[in-house]
Amino acid sequence: MVHALITGGAGFIGSHLAEKLLAQGAQVTIIDNLSTGRFENIEHLAGLPNFRYAIEDIRHAAVMDRLVSECDIIYHLAAAVGVFAIVHSPIDTLEINVGGTEIVLQAARRYRKKVLIASTSEVYGKGVKVPFSEDDDRILGPTTRSRWSYAASKELDEFLALAYHKAVGLPVTIVRLFNTVGPRQVGTYGMVVPRFVRWALANEPIQVYGDGQQSRCFANVHDVVDAISRLGSSADCDGEVFNIGNNHEVSIYELAQTVKARTGSTSEIVLIPYEEAYEVGFEDMHRRVPDVSKIKRVIGWEPATPLETTIDQIIAYFQARPDAGR
């Protein structure tokens, strides 16, 4: 039986991955300090014989050493998340992302354990070559804009992981996650779809930042954890970087319209300047579209769930749990 350790396992993606791996017959241990993860995401798993959890920070090296020594593979998902957290808590962003990953990799090296590290589409920065492919050049904004600290921290995570692979042969796979959405995601940290759904269900104004013409691609969390679990079990992916996301592009204003229509809401859609939502000088990317040809070629994965279906799942989740994420 494979024993998987998931850092950030009480988070939105981590909890779905735990369910996926348990369904495949794995033993699963998660570690999460609940700074952004929520115990209610894993509460239904707590009594299962093959599931364990530790409410602890991944920067606690002694705890990580013990957990890593007991597992076969580490899915490292723990990170500072959300644009609001990045802008308003830049120290935590850097210390958690960089320091936490260093501790995970050191323990993995000590016990020769495979590591799958979750990176982000943010590392593509202000790149204009669309769609983004894994070997593209990256363009980031100035260090005086805290907006770019998250991207820089995840780039350093990638460099560090690949250095461990190259220097000591540590089996490492990196995944760059584009916008992932689905049930259990809440809008507290700036995630756009659950925020839109909550406002629409309450018939409150749906706030679209900027002019709303910036576009994104939204992948269903079930598709994403399927890709992650398949990469984790593949021996052909060591030392490689893979995009995971949906390549169906939609503008944020169109997204608001779709959410409004599918909820039957009477909400008004309003435009809010970036400087009111985040900070003066905040920079956003006009388009962010993944090239998923590499992951399709290597493991045969491609996104399968339409955006409308995902929105309906999120609507149903909030209707069943009106206090979720409040």
CATH number of the domain at 229, please.
3.40.50.720
> Is 253 marked active-site?
no
- Report the share of the chain in percent with pLDDT over 70: 94
How far apart (Å, rounded) are the C-alpha atoms in residues 145 and 95? 17
C-alpha distances out from residue 147 to 62, 88, 123, 253, Å: 32, 10, 12, 22
Note the pLDDT tens digit of each residue in 51-96.
Answer: 999 999 999 999 999 999 999 999 999 987 766 666 667 787 788 8
pLDDT of residue 150: 86
Does a structural domain hold residue 204?
Answer: no
pLDDT at 156: 95
> Which member of 75, 150, 253, 317 is catalytic?
150
Model pLDDT for residues 36-60, shown as the tens digit of each residue = 899 999 999 998 999 999 999 999 9
Name the band, by pLDDT with cuts 50, 70 and 90, for residue 189.
low
Contacts of 103 (CB under 8 A, 6+ apart): 58, 59, 61, 64
Q: Is position 269 within any domain?
A: no
Count Cα neighbours of 84 within 13 Å in the Cβ-side half-sphere: 12
Work out how many domains the chain is built from and give that number: 1
What pLDDT is attached to residue 280? 55
Task: At 246, list the tokens.
Answer: 């949906």
Position 318 confidence tier, pLDDT thresholds 50, 70, 90? very high
Residues 234-287 have pLDDT tens digits of 988 999 999 999 999 999 999 999 999 999 999 999 999 877 755 555 566 778
Question: For residue 309, is it within any domain?
Answer: no
Give the range of the structural domain holding residue 62, as residue numbers without chain letter. 3-181+220-245+289-303
- Flag whether 90 is in a domain: yes
Burial code (b: 16+ CB inside 10 Å, e: under 16) for 68-84 equals: beebebbbbbbbbbbbe
The yes-or-no verdict on residue 227 having pLDDT over 90 is yes
Strand ranges (DSSP E) for 68-113? 73-76
Q: Give domain status of residue 251, yes or no.
A: no
Q: What is the mean pLDDT of the chain?
A: 92
Tokens of 128: 């204009």
- pLDDT, tens digit, 9 for 90 and up, residues 100-143: 999 999 999 999 999 999 999 999 988 878 999 999 998 888 88
Percent of the chain with pLDDT over 90: 76
Query: Residue 206 CB: number of other CB atoms within 10 A?
Result: 23
For the cut 60, the answer to whether the pLDDT of residue 196 exceeds it is yes
DSSP 144-168: TSGGGHHHHHHHHHHHHHHHHHHHH
* Any domain includes 53: yes
pLDDT (average), residues 200-226: 95
Closest by Cα among 245, 231, 250 to 303: 245
Q: Report how far apart, in Å, the C-alpha atoms of 310 and of each of 63, 193, 259, 289 are.
A: 36, 10, 11, 18
Mean of pLDDT values over 223-234: 97
Q: What is the pLDDT of residue 256?
A: 97
190 inside domain? no
**DSSP reduced 3-state for 277:** helix
- The verdict on residue 266 lying in a domain is no
pLDDT level of residue 144 (50, 70, 90 thresholds)? confident
